[in-house]
């Protein structure tokens, strides 16, 4: 079975790239982030025509996450826990940042971790609270069922190690590399999850800014991850980052991340 995750940065703009990607890599389950549309705007038809089921949650033009599967799509949930933090000063809202379902016996989550914006911004505290609740929830899943096969996939908006950005000096005082964010990411690993892609893609990035020729200059970041529970990690036999997908006109600023299971 092959599972992929991709911050597509608008699914409507890039639906042709999505269908081409699914076919090019023979993908069974694809988790999308930043679909940037409402449920009624999600382009499900071309995916159904290829034999995939779809589940999507999107409230407006911001955020939005989806699961696309041809190996089953059961028990769909549009928040990882009832306690998933809300955002907004006046009227806090549950943003469309997580969707999970059981696909071919694996519980797959498409996660879009809040960006954080600035270190002193309310969004940064929201990001840390969101990650802490995800950790607590995922730890409880494994406490209830140590053999559970779970994939926490998506755009984590954290570069966990210095090698995950092209130049640490360029990120002085920025989000994505701060110690609290890195500690939050490590705490998810400590809860019983493993980055199953890194061993196969040493030194690779998953994101390159649209500006300043970042992609050809190799000024990238590794911020998209597939974390697997122990039972799932034991099935992994390969992984890759589809850097080709970042090339050309109309590319997302993120590349898809793929993992292969026995």
Partner DNA sequence: ATGCCTATCCTCGATAGA
Binding footprint of DNA on the chain (CB under 7 A): 7, 9-10, 12-13, 34, 36-37, 41, 60-62, 114-115, 117, 123, 155, 157, 175-176, 207, 209-213, 215-216, 218, 221, 223, 246-251, 253-254
Task: Give yes or no for a contact between 259 and 194, defined as CB atoms under 8 angstroms apart.
Answer: no
Buried b (16+ CB within 10 A) or exposed e, 55-76: bbbbeeeebbbbbbbbbebeee
Q: Which is nearer to DNA, 107 or 155 (CB)?
A: 155
Q: Which is nearer to DNA, 103 or 185 (CB)?
A: 185
E strand spans, 166-235: 193-195, 207-208, 220-221, 224-229
Q: Which is nearer to DNA, 74 or 209 (CB)?
A: 209
Q: Which residue in the block uniquely carries the two structure tokens 């009227």?
A: 91
In the complex, minimum distance from the CB of residue 116 to DNA, in angstroms, rounded to a whole number: 8
In the complex, minimum distance from the CB of residue 67 to DNA, in angstroms, rounded to a whole number: 19
In the complex, minimum distance from the CB of residue 236 to DNA, in angstroms, rounded to a whole number: 25
In the complex, minimum distance from the CB of residue 175 to DNA, in angstroms, rounded to a whole number: 6
Q: Which is nearer to DNA, 69 or 175 (CB)?
A: 175
In the complex, minimum distance from the CB of residue 252 to DNA, in angstroms, rounded to a whole number: 8
**Distance of CA 98 to CAs 32, 62, 251, Å?**
10, 13, 23
Q: Which is nearer to DNA, 203 or 250 (CB)?
A: 250
- What CA–CA distance (Å, rounded) separates 68 from 50? 11
Other CB atoms closer than 10 Å to residue 181's CB: what's the count? Answer: 23
């Amino acid at each position: 079975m092959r599972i992929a995750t991709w911050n597509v940065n608008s699914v409507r703009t890039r639906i042709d790239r999505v269908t081409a990607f699914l076919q090019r890599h023979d993908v069974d389950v694809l988790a999308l982030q930043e679909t940037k549309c409402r449920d009624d705007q999600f382009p499900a038809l071309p995916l159904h025509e290829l034999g995939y089921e779809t589940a999507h949650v999107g409230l407006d033009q911001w955020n939005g996450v989806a699961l696309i599967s041809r190996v089953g799509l059961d028990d769909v949930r549009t928040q990882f826990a009832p306690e998933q933090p809300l955002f907004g000063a006046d009227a806090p809202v549950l943003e469309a940042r997580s969707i999970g379902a059981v696909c071919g016996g694996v519980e797959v989550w498409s996660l879009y971790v809040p960006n954080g914006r600035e270190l002193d911004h309310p969004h940064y505290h929201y990001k840390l609270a969101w990650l802490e609740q995800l950790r607590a929830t995922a730890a409880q899943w494994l406490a209830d069922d140590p053999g559970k096969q779970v994939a926490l996939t998506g755009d984590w908006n954290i570069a966990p190690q210095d090698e995950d950005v092209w130049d640490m000096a360029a990120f002085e005082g920025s989000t994505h590399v701060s110690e609290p964010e890195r500690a939050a990411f490590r705490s998810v690993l400590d809860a019983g999850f493993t980055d199953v892609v890194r061993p196969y893609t040493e030194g690779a990035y998953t994101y390159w800014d649209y500006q300043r020729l970042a992609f050809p200059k190799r000024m990238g970041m590794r911020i998209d991850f597939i974390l697997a529970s122990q039972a799932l990690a034991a099935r992994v036999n390969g992984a890759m980052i589809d850097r080709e997908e970042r090339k050309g006109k109309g590319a997302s600023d993120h590349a898809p991340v793929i993992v292969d299971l026995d």
